[in-house]
Amino acid sequence: MTVKYTPDHEWIDLPGDDEIATIGITLHAQDALGDVVFVDLPAVGTTLAQKDVAGVVESVKAAADLYAPVSGTVVEVNEALRADPSLANSDPMGAGWFFKIKLSDQTQYDALMDASAYDELVKNS
């Protein structure tokens, strides 16, 4: 996995030289939200700019926007997550992924935080 992170607690996995990345929320985000009860996912074909609101995560405690960590076009959404939002809690870095996006600007991905920088951010927040 080549995972990077945003200050808004999204993760993005861009394997190898692929231009399709998988996006979800971090373990820290799902801990802060509590039990996820609903997710609003972007439509396939939607073009997003970096930091656009791509969806909403609702929990028993709060609702939070999901931001696009990079610009691109949504190519797939996780229908299993829509059917069972608790996957965002039980496996946020795996089966609880939100959507896949075809990157339009690789440099945006390159500029995101690696795991150690993200861990430092979480530790200091």
Q: Residue 124 falls within a domain, yes or no?
A: no
Segment 106-120, tens digit of pLDDT: 999 999 999 999 999
Q: Residue 119 falls within a domain, yes or no?
A: no
Q: Residue 101 falls within a domain, yes or no?
A: yes
- Res 30: pLDDT: 94
Q: Residue 25 falls within a domain, yes or no?
A: yes
- Res 91: pLDDT: 96
Q: Residue 121 falls within a domain, yes or no?
A: no
Q: Average pLDDT over the chain, rounded to whole?
A: 95
For the whole model, what pTM was predicted?
0.94
CA angle 90/113/86 to nearest 5° reads 15
Give the pairing type, strands 53-59 and 36-40.
antiparallel
Residue 76: which domain range? 3-110
